[in-house]
């Protein structure tokens, strides 16, 4: 019995210690300055005795990983984290009143040495989502789950922003918008320039910038690859040919459509088409079940683990056939209309009603992606939840 009690106490201590370790905050410090005469941005991230770093030249915006070999000493290998990879240079730094200074010592070719002068421009404390065991997992804690999170990261927000080329202003439902193109990668996006209520602009543009940053991240990753490691290495991987458009705007909702075909290696390209409605009050993707009676409340699941639909939603779906006046798909692609397709519709809102689409399907089913039904708002009377009044006037 004493052994069982000791074992239980020990296990509890291990669990508590592990949980505490997972909650240890890390500090991300960002510096701007020069290596030689070339402008750079460098970040150093520390958690306890773990340190990781990376930097980019402002001219190229290609991320260069660094491995810590001392408190302020780092090794640069050819876009590689393994110790066996060729050593390109060493970064030896020391603290100054305004940041850091030191030298970049070349370890390959002519072994050129360059002076380094860095000024501290930002610092952020964060808690990694998962337990950190080494510098590699510490770095993974810098990844972000939502598009807009990169905007709050002082390093990523600089890496993904090389300046924008602006297109002509166009109008959509009383809103003015323009296409913007990232100068380093050629990735295009869209931003709002005017709105009936100017308070809409900051949050809407924050969402749109975040979505563009995701595409820029993909393009930079492809550009950093070598031709030897990927046939698409050194290119933007098709991310510069993707499209982002706003298909619906209101005072509280914005629907964004993204599509394209990207490839940075692998068996097949990534063909995608998706449409998402965002809540401009919360800055989050709108869950249609918040405003429509789609699923049972309290939540229930069927024998397969799927959420139980409401009778109202089942009645509406029963009307969704190619013979319905709401059908807007292509009847020539019969396999896309099969009842056993294996993929459900995604929902979004437009100026005409509730849109049922097939999005982000596997490569072999790419031809099936797109709109299939647009149910007018007048046909949704039985489905509205009380919260819908927040977004749809006249209910």
Sorted by where each starts, the structural domains of the chain and their CATH numbers stand as 23-143 (2.40.160), 164-285 (3.30.565), 288-390 (no CATH)
**Chunked in runs of 10, what are the mean pLDDT values of the chain (395 residues)?**
39 40 79 98 92 94 92 84 78 98 89 95 86 69 65 93 96 94 97 94 95 94 86 93 96 96 90 95 94 95 91 96 94 83 92 95 90 97 96 84
Length of the chain: 395
pLDDT of the residue at 73: 96
Residue-level pLDDT at 78: 74
Query: How big is the CA angle at 389 (ends 327 and 320), to the nearest 5 degrees?
Result: 15
What confidence score (pLDDT) does residue 136 get? 67
Give the per-residue pLDDT at 146: 64
What is the pTM (predicted TM-score) of this model? Answer: 0.88
Alpha-carbon distance of 109 to 34, in angstroms, equals 21
């Amino acid at each position: 019995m004493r052994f069982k009690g000791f074992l239980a106490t020990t296990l509890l201590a291990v669990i508590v210690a592990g949980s505490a370790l997972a909650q240890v905050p890390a500090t991300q410090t960002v510096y701007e300055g020069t290596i030689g005469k070339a402008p750079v941005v460098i970040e150093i991230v520390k958690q306890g005795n773990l340190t990781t770093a990376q930097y980019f030249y402002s001219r190229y915006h290609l991320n260069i990983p660094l491995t810590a070999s001392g408190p302020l000493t780092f090794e640069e290998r050819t876009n590689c984290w393994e110790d066996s990879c060729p050593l390109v240079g060493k970064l030896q730094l020391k603290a100054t009143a305004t940041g850091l200074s030191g030298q970049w010592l070349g370890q390959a070719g002519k072994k050129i040495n360059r002076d380094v002068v860095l000024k501290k421009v930002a610092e952020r404390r964060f808690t990694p989502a998962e337990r950190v065991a080494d510098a590699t997992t510490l770095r993974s804690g810098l990844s972000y789950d939502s598009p807009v999170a990169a905007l709050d990261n002082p390093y990523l927000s600089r890496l993904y922003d090389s300046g924008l080329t602006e297109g002509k202003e166009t109008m959509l439902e009383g809103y003015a918008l323009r296409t913007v193109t990232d100068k380093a990668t050629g990735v295009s996006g869209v931003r709002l320039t005017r709105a009936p209520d100017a308070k809409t602009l900051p949050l809407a543009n924050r969402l749109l910038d975040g979505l563009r940053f995701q595409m820029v991240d993909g393009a930079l990753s492809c550009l950093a690859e070598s031709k030897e490691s990927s046939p698409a290495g050194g290119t933007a991987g098709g991310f510069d040919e993707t499209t982002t458009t706003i298909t619906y705007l209101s005072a509280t909702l914005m629907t964004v459509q993204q599509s394209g075909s990207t490839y940075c290696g692998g068996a097949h390209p990534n063909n995608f088409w998706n449409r998402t409605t965002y809540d401009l009050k919360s800055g989050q993707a709108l869950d249609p079940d918040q405003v429509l009676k789609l699923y049972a409340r309290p939540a229930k699941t069927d024998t397969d683990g799927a959420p139980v639909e409401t009778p109202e939603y089942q009645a509406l779906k029963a009307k969704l056939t190619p013979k319905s006046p709401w059908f807007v798909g292509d009847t020539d692609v019969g396999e896309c209309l099969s009842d056993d397709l294996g993929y459900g519709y995604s929902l979004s809102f437009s100026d005409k009603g509730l849109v049922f689409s097939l999005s982000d399907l596997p490569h072999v089913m790419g031809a099936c992606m797109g709109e299939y039904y647009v149910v007018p708002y007048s046909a949704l009377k039985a489905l509205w939840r009380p919260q819908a009044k927040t977004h749809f006037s006249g209910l």
